[in-house]
Structure 1
Amino acid sequence: MKITGYRCLRTFHDWRRPVGDVNGVIASGLTDVPLVLLETDEGVTGIGMGSHADVDRLFPAIEGEDPRAAPALYDRMLAAVFKTGHGGATFGGLGTLDSAIWDLKAKLAGEPLWRLLGARDRFVPGYASGLDIALDDTELSGFYTSMAEHGFTSGKLKGGRDVDADAARLDILADALRRNTAKPALMIDANESWNLKQAIRYVTAMEQRVDLTWVEEPLRRWDAAGHARLSRSVKAAVATGENLTGLEQYAPLFEHGAVDIVQAGAVWGVTHFLRVAAAAHSRNLPISPVGLSANAAVAHAASSVPNHLTAEVQDLGTPFGVTLDQHCADGGIVLGDGPGAGIEVDEDVITAGNNDGSWAVPAGPHVRPQRAGLSLVSEAHEFPK
């Protein structure tokens, strides 16, 4: 078995609502979903979701190689971009190829990826996360009510501008989730929008009104000393790590005792997640993957590690032309029995019905506002619909 080629395909996800965070919003609710289809000399195809960045530069490192050597091929790709570095956008392409390789490895074994990775249980506990900052109160209630109908008992609000508004909106989340538990777990995600003292003041004020389970990405991702000070200053756990592109970037957080909930982005692939989970486990820390709604391979990986806490589930739908062998029930993701990561792609449907959509729109959540972290007064903000 040898890897012989690849094809890049692009589809879209229709969230059916505006999505975004404190940094910006995609009002259309349409975002692009890059796919990589990894070909072999035996006709088996591996599928990865995430990014097309630098795939052309990374592919020679795995061309002609046996996909069953997945971790070694990951290291070959890291080595191939040694001089320029694997961080940033390049890490997205690397993660997508890595997920496709793991899909191939499991398909060759004739097993679902969760079984190949040694999981005992196909169930992945999760929490609801609506990317919901642009939703009005009625829409917010509707989203979390629909997630509660699938058994979710915890939810994460996008916020960070106005303490009173965020506290009131967390009450809406709690009301929706109480159909499953008397005390829902409530989290808030500030998406790196605060400085240290802002974060301490904001979270302290929130905690007078809400029992926060964690505060996510309160500071810039590299600020290990700041995260450590914040964790010591508030009762809520501090969660961060989803935007770190490489295991080595976690070292300062670990050394400073700066993270209570270790996060890893699903778009960065299976091997990255497994290695971060192992590093966290060695420090008695839980791991929580971010963005599992359509990144099926990392959902399988999450089921296999001993310190998985909960996974972010952002939507119940799937990208256009993509079928996933999984479903949400009992407050998490139930993985299927099909071989591989359970991803099926209808190329003809995607090609015929392709639609424009981009996550990285100019005023969207991937663009940091010029004055982020520099405000003296927290103010509510109206996002476009």
Structure 2
Amino acid sequence: MVTMTHTTTNAAHVAGEATLDRISWIRLSSVTLPLTTPVSDAKVLTGRQKPMTEVAFLFVELETEQGHEGIGFSYSKRAGGPGQFAHAREIAGSLLGEDPSDIGRIWTKLAWAGASVGRSGLAIQAIAAYDVALWDLKARRAGLPLAKLLGAHRDSVRCYNTSGGFLHTPTGQVLDNAAASLANGIGGIKIKVGNPDHKEDLRRLTAVRERVGDDAPLMVDANQQWDRPTARRMGRAMEEFGLVWIEEPLDAYDAQGHAALAASLDTPIATGEMLASVAEHWELIRHHAADVIQPDAPRIGGITQFLKLAALAEHHHLQLAPHFAMEIHLHLAAAYPIEPWVEHFDWLEPLFNERLTISDGRMHVPSRPGLGITLTDQARAWTRATHEAGKRR
């Protein structure tokens, strides 16, 4: 593990009497989470990616002069983790001396610090970890779960499982995983599709529907691997299964193709997880390309940006189903006015001391302040690099 310490003085904005606290210490950690089993979806079967064996996380821990703390994270699958860490390290000093309550202004400052690398993608994902930590700190300081600080519309959110239905998993095991998830209180099941043999997708889907019954919420995810004609044919073939949605049937940036598909099918179309800014999601919204929008807060710049997108989505009466990172997205979904879904993945559990409660098809907002998470000793052991700025109390 490489440990780097750096102290930077920062010309923060001139404080008024409302500034009661300042950020005094920051620690970044690059943590690599190994996956027990290599994971494959349609992108692997089409030869575009290799099986996923690990997930890289960027953790940010903050402390203020008054002793308030916050933690946030971003992540990258397959590639990009070291790049996120490098960019976060470059801009860390920009936060020192700032009022942690001024989250929107700090986000803009960090974006301008790396303006030459753009307002989407890796650089914005590095900023996301800071942004999440600032919101966590704000809620902790208030003594409230983040959902309550934002203004919750509900104390629990419908949840569905994805991790049991990947294409590398034999059909028999997918059926057992689905039954176990429902028995454990999870509300819906999503399975991966996009096999080169489309008939295999339909056989697999038929088997799952028969196993879970007609009333269980069921979704499919093609991970962008169909072209437009294939998506139309498969969408029509899947209408009979009463799916909650068909996810990412087309390339993530094909807004017009998604719009045409959404208009032609009764089954809702869901997409958005691979987009890396609010502006990119706006293309989906203005083209009427999705019935269900699936933003990922760490990918689009954090909670500040997610809230902007959520307001746009609500205005257009869209359903919301945030992607991955349930530890963050549970709180954000709970604050969305239209009944949402949150995605259950157990992959991140080794990183956190706490567990989320699931029952009766719903994931429950914890009573713990902030996000309600703390890092495990195992997470510390998986740390590959750290960087500190400022001075801890």
TM-score (norm 2): 0.81
Q: CA deviation at 1:271?
A: 1.8
**Helix, strand or coil for the counterpart of 2:117?**
coil
Contact 2:58/2:74 (CA < 8 Å) preserved in 1? yes
2:9 alignment partner in structure 1: none
1:170 alignment partner in structure 2: 205
The answer on 1:194 being equivalent to 2:226 is yes
Contact 1:99/1:270 (CA < 8 Å) preserved in 2? yes
Q: 2:336 aligns with which of 282, 305, 314?
A: 305
1:8 alignment partner in structure 2: 28
Runs of 5+ consecutive residues of structure 2 not aligned to the other structure: 1-20, 76-80, 385-393
Once the two structures are overlaid, the 10-residue window that deviates more, 82-91 or 105-114, is 82-91
Contact 2:161/2:186 (CA < 8 Å) preserved in 1? yes
Once the two structures are overlaid, the 10-residue window that deviates more, 114-123 or 91-100, is 114-123
Alignment of structure 1 residues 89-100 onto 2, 5 Å: 89-100=122-133
Alignment of structure 1 residues 103-118 onto 2, 5 Å: 103-118=136-151
CA distance in 1 between partners of 2:103 and 2:383 (Å): 33
Q: CA deviation at 1:176?
A: 4.6
Contact 2:209/2:241 (CA < 8 Å) preserved in 1? no
Once the two structures are overlaid, the 10-residue window that deviates more, 16-25 or 109-118, is 16-25
The amino acid of 1:7's aligned partner reads R
Contact 2:217/2:244 (CA < 8 Å) preserved in 1? yes
CA distance in 2 between partners of 1:228 and 1:321 (Å): 38
Q: 1:78 aligns with which of 102, 107, 111?
A: 111
The answer on 1:248 being equivalent to 2:283 is no
Work out the number of aligned pairs and report it. Answer: 347
**Helix, strand or coil for the counterpart of 1:311?**
strand
Once the two structures are overlaid, the 10-residue window that deviates more, 230-239 or 61-70, is 61-70
The answer on 1:139 being equivalent to 2:185 is no
Contact 1:48/1:100 (CA < 8 Å) preserved in 2? yes
CA distance in 2 between partners of 1:40 and 1:99 (Å): 15
1:42 alignment partner in structure 2: 66
CA distance in 1 between partners of 2:255 and 2:104 (Å): 28
CA distance in 2 between partners of 1:321 and 1:186 (Å): 29
Alignment of structure 1 residues 210-221 onto 2, 5 Å: 210-221=241-252
Runs of 5+ consecutive residues of structure 1 not aligned to the other structure: 357-385
Percent identity (aligned):
29
Contact 2:186/2:358 (CA < 8 Å) preserved in 1? no
- The structure in which a higher percent of residues are helix is 2
Contact 1:145/1:176 (CA < 8 Å) preserved in 2? yes
Contact 1:270/1:298 (CA < 8 Å) preserved in 2? no
Q: 2:293 aligns with which of 253, 262, 284?
A: 262
Q: 1:279 aligns with which of 298, 312, 315?
A: 312
**Helix, strand or coil for the counterpart of 1:289?**
coil
Give CA-to-partner distance per residue, 1:72-124, whole Å, 9 cap, x none: 32233233333321211112111111111111111111211111111153212
Instruction: Name the CA shift for 1:134/1:34 in 2 (closer, same or farther; >3 Å).
Output: same
Q: 2:55 aligns with which of 31, 44, 48?
A: 31
CA distance in 2 between partners of 1:120 and 1:2 (Å): 31
Instruction: Name the CA shift for 1:197/1:28 in 2 (closer, same or farther; >3 Å).
Output: closer
Instruction: Name the CA shift for 1:259/1:121 in 2 (closer, same or farther; >3 Å).
Output: closer
CA distance in 2 between partners of 1:146 and 1:334 (Å): 19
Alignment of structure 1 residues 221-240 onto 2, 5 Å: 221-240=252-271
CA distance in 2 between partners of 1:255 and 1:152 (Å): 33
Q: CA deviation at 1:308?
A: 4.3
Instruction: Name the CA shift for 1:115/1:141 in 2 (closer, same or farther; >3 Å).
Output: same
Give CA-to-partner distance per residue, 1:238-257, whole Å, 9 cap, x none: 11111111111122222221
CA distance in 2 between partners of 1:231 and 1:121 (Å): 29
| Root mean square deviation, CA, Å | 2.4
Give CA-to-partner distance per residue, 1:180-208, whole Å, 9 cap, x none: xx41222211111122112112222233x
Instruction: Name the CA shift for 1:355/1:116 in 2 (closer, same or farther; >3 Å).
Output: closer
Give CA-to-partner distance per residue, 1:230-271, whole Å, 9 cap, x none: 112222111111111111112222222111111101423222
Q: 1:157 aligns with which of 191, 194, 216?
A: 191
Instruction: Name the CA shift for 1:30/1:224 in 2 (closer, same or farther; >3 Å).
Output: closer
Q: 1:102 aligns with which of 128, 131, 135?
A: 135
Contact 1:125/1:331 (CA < 8 Å) preserved in 2? yes
The amino acid of 2:382's aligned partner reads N
Q: CA deviation at 1:12?
A: 4.7
TM-score (norm 1): 0.82
Contact 1:67/1:101 (CA < 8 Å) preserved in 2? yes
Instruction: Name the CA shift for 1:60/1:165 in 2 (closer, same or farther; >3 Å).
Output: same
The amino acid of 1:107's aligned partner reads R
CA distance in 2 between partners of 1:267 and 1:175 (Å): 36
